[in-house]
Structure 1
Amino acid sequence: MAKIKFLLQSKSENSQIYIRVSISQFVSIKKKTGFTINAKDWSPTTDRPKQNNPQNKITHANLNKLETFIFDELNKDLANGSLIDTYWLETKINDCFSRVIKTDAGLLVNHVQNIIDNANTRKVKTNGGFKIGLSTSTIKNYTLFKNIILEYQKKIKKQIQFLEITKPFVDKFTNWLINTKNYSNNYAGKQLEILKTVCIDAEKNEIQVAPYSKIIQHFRESEKDRYIQTLSFDELELIKNVDLSDIKQLKEFKIQNPELTKNLSITPANLNNVRNWILLGCEIGQRGGDLLEITQENIRYNGKNYYIDIMQQKTNKNVTVGVIAPHVIDIIENYLPKKLPHQKLNEYAKVVCKLAGIVEVVKGTKLNTETNRKELGNYPKYELIASHCFRRSFATNYYKKIPTAVLIGITGHSKESLFLTYINQREDKDSNADLFMKFYEDLQKNKKPQLKVVKTAN
């Protein structure tokens, strides 16, 4: 008959309690139970903890529970001819207390790396179904997130398991992101959003996660805390008309603005090239990365109108923009700008805007190069202009002038609420009603008058 014995192998204050199962005179297996005890509280006579404090009483009860469970499982498996070894014993100990074995797959960082490694074959949900492969920007976000987690693990001096991502963990992680790393609310909230996404993905891959990890609440800056910069139609006129051909004036400008023009070649050709990118960007509403990829191959002419076809890198959406503004038609016919590095576009855009006189002091956020953090303050507007402002300018300038559904079809936003958040606007239901009435009146105007036959009386 099999025998079960509990024992200690050390005399320390934190001794591991082992279980030994002797199946016969020659076959004996032993594993840790997962419980520990002060060796002074162990009774060699009973092979159990002394019941001299509440914790020892709990451990005593758990060992009794384990003994009964192992006996029952052993009898069943011996009858079925199952292999009884240390792996069997470890599995049964975990089954008895519903424990989950922590493995490398259960590590947060490892699953993030798995997502990155398999980015080109991952399915991504789209409006039309699914597509294969993560976008470059999404892979970059996962990589940055992984680096943040690695840094946090160094801070807490342990690797993070999915089972440990509970509410207290998330609260501490959020505190670290905002108060120690000084990340903006937007950036910190984005990291929590990615954390939640990774946890949900892990569970889909049969990795056990903490229940709270699937309902992590992320956040964004409130509307009153967001400061977006756009170029109005009047400011775009200033940019369109500013003289960038005076070489002597440009040389003086470079001397007077050493920080603004540092590492830039301030020539008429370079500035005109950027001016055309600005004017084009503010009329077609695309992200900077998509804007800079436009070549003659993206442009179609049907004998009457020009169209620009774009595959958006971030969303993999195909959008088509109609071009009707005369100055933009002139650009795509005669002066289609040359591609340049995205960062250089942002730097040159500030120079062009200052030369155009866009110097009004406005409230906004600007990167502090010493702390590498954005700081809220009052700055000359040209200092805050970058390629993302072009897309926002398009959306803002044409909002309420063109149906929102049409604008969304061009910008690629998935729904109106996201579009309105992007331009810091609340839904204006009166405006929607006004647009409907305007289009209705236009329809009535275009109707041909119909002759009515009037019956005459006898």
Structure 2
Amino acid sequence: MASIKFRLRSNANKNVSIKVRVILGRGKQDLELNTGFSINPKDWSETTDLPKQNTPENKVILNNLKKLESFLFESINTDMGESVVIDTFWLDAKINECFKRVVKNDTGLLVSHIQYIIDNANTRKVKTNGGFKIGLSASTIKNYTLFKNIILEYQAKTKKQIQFVEVTKPFVDKFTNWLVNTKKYSTNYAGKQLEILKTVCIDAEKHEIPVTPYSKTIQHFRESDTDRYIQTLSFAELEQIKNVDLSNVEQLKEFKASNPELTKGISITPEALNNARNWILIGCEIGQRGGDLLKITNDNIRYKGTTIYIDIIQQKTNKSVTIGIIAPHVIDIIENHLPKEVPHQKLNDYVKVVCKLAGINEVVKGTKLNTETNRKELGMYPKHELITTHCFRRSFATNYYKKIPTAVLIGITGHSKESLFLTYINQREDKDNNADLFMKFYSDLHKDKTPEMKIILNTIAK
């Protein structure tokens, strides 16, 4: 049984705070906090432990205290049945929730610390391979901002603010269920939110904010390799894209008229389509993320003799990578037709058009965004509908895997280790291939050496 009482802690001849006291289980828990209301002790009834009804102001305070009492009883019954931790953090949150008060600078609130991370993003230390760097990347800040919005939406749904001390296993299980079954987020996206939640909790503890032991061990997840459907452009398909005629204006007009959904919002002109084609052909030869690819200018291009290099500092990892360009058609693009930057989403739209015109129409299994639900749906689609700028990087990694040493490919893509690279292209480690490569390199290393003559003595046993 729970009991709720109100009292004053002072008899001063001035307004003093009214406190609420919550007692649970025969005194096993005794919580007390300010209600936010105050009254002069002469207007307080020692008999009822409530305000006297001698002024309109006191009647308003009485009604508010009755409202709080009812709200707390209801919340206790609900939360105790759901294994929610009831403590001073809980009581403080309930008082604020009852009167819809905005809590500012409350370090115990999950949302407050997420905002703290965002506000201090430019001075936060980030671990790198070489030590530390200062400042979160734009993509990381975006992830924290999206996570904060998700938490705000979940709080609105549950009608309570989340304290760090409430991040227990039951809470995480319910939150996960909401992400996957109510919001219909993909496995990877839902798992990413749990990963960020764990990171925020660990960071909060470093700032001496009390957290639950469980919050530092939250299990996040991602889809299994067998559930992943990645799309790549093979060398043969890239040849189709390279050779497709995009110059016939009349044919392009007819194509636009017969494909209104595919061409919606973009200009179907030879110039625009050739620009997109050049981004595809460069992207599939240099293995970089779309954001890094689209930032390439003449400043990134460097000559060493007759060899062309592209130098890039990857936005996501801050890694510096250099790619040598060998393919003649890509050299021609870089020297004579370097494409113009296009908004990322616009390029994704153009890429689909170019691929369809090039005949990349095989029906394949994959996930496609449903614009009505704003969720990706698994199904069978023409391949050109599934191609995006991110496929360029995967195409590079997939096409050159086993043709070029994996260590070299990783140095270009920027993956931190081979296991991540192999997961990225849905491949398992091929130990025989590693052995074959070793023998090939060993053979090449010694091929110019003169064979040694060995003299074998023919001795006769006596």
Shorter-chain TM range is: 0.7 to 0.9
| CA distances 1:228-264 after superposition (whole Å, capped 9, x unpaired) | 0000000000001111111111111111111111111
Matched, 1:56 2:26: yes
CA drift at 1:439: 1.2
8 A contact 1:301–1:307 mirrored in 2? yes
Distance 1:388 1:222 in 2: 19
Matched, 1:306 2:276: no
Matched, 1:317 2:319: yes
Aligned match for 1:16, one of 5, 21, 35: 5
8 A contact 2:165–2:210 mirrored in 1? yes
| CA distances 1:92-120 after superposition (whole Å, capped 9, x unpaired) | xxxxxxx7767810100010011111111
8 A contact 2:367–2:386 mirrored in 1? yes
CA drift at 1:304: 2.5
Distance 1:393 1:452 in 2: 49
**Aligned residue for 1:449?**
450
Q: Could you tell me which amino acid in structure 1 is paired with residue 271 of structure 2?
A: A
- Give the paired residue count: 384
Matched, 1:410 2:412: yes
Distance 2:363 2:275 in 1: 26
User: Which of 1 and 2 has greater Rg?
Assistant: 1
Aligned match for 1:427, one of 418, 421, 429: 429
Matched, 1:112 2:114: yes
Q: Could you tell me which amino acid in structure 1 is paired with residue 450 of structure 2?
A: P
> Where does the alignment leave 5 or more consecutive residues of structure 1 unmatched?
1-11, 38-54, 64-98
Q: Could you tell me which amino acid in structure 2 is paired with residue 124 of structure 1?
A: V
Q: Could you tell me which amino acid in structure 1 is paired with residue 26 of structure 2?
A: N
Q: 1:453 to 1:357 in 2, by over 3 A?
A: closer
Q: Could you tell me which amino acid in structure 2 is paired with residue 255 of structure 1?
A: A
8 A contact 1:413–1:419 mirrored in 2? yes
| CA distances 1:99-155 after superposition (whole Å, capped 9, x unpaired) | 776781010001001111111111100000001111111011000000000000001
TM-score (norm 1): 0.79
CA drift at 1:303: 1.3
Q: 1:398 to 1:250 in 2, by over 3 A?
A: same
Which 4+ stretches in 1 moved above 3 angstroms?
17-22, 29-35, 99-103, 450-454
Distance 1:170 1:16 in 2: 33
8 A contact 2:301–2:311 mirrored in 1? yes
**Aligned residue for 1:47?**
none
Matched, 1:353 2:355: yes
| CA distances 1:45-99 after superposition (whole Å, capped 9, x unpaired) | xxxxxxxxxx32757xx89xxxxxxxxxxxxxxxxxxxxxxxxxxxxxxxxxxx7
CA drift at 1:438: 1.3
| CA distances 1:417-441 after superposition (whole Å, capped 9, x unpaired) | 1111111111111111111111111
Identity over aligned residues, as a percent? Answer: 76
8 A contact 2:147–2:193 mirrored in 1? yes
Distance 2:417 2:8 in 1: 60
Q: 1:451 to 1:418 in 2, by over 3 A?
A: closer
**Aligned residue for 1:70?**
none
Aligned match for 1:155, one of 157, 166, 172: 157
**Aligned residue for 2:229?**
227
8 A contact 2:7–2:19 mirrored in 1? yes
Aligned match for 2:329, one of 300, 304, 327: 327
Q: 1:163 to 1:244 in 2, by over 3 A?
A: same
3-state DSSP of counterpart to 1:378: strand
The residue correspondences of 1:375-386 to structure 2 (distance < 5 A) are 375-386=377-388
Distance 1:290 1:254 in 2: 30
Task: Give the CA RMSD over aligned residues.
Answer: 2.5
Q: 1:384 to 1:58 in 2, by over 3 A?
A: closer
Distance 2:2 2:18 in 1: 19
> Where does the alignment leave 5 or more consecutive residues of structure 2 unmatched?
32-86, 93-104, 456-462
8 A contact 1:17–1:36 mirrored in 2? no
CA drift at 1:200: 0.5
Aligned match for 2:23, one of 36, 39, 43: 36
Q: 1:13 to 1:170 in 2, by over 3 A?
A: closer
8 A contact 2:3–2:22 mirrored in 1? no
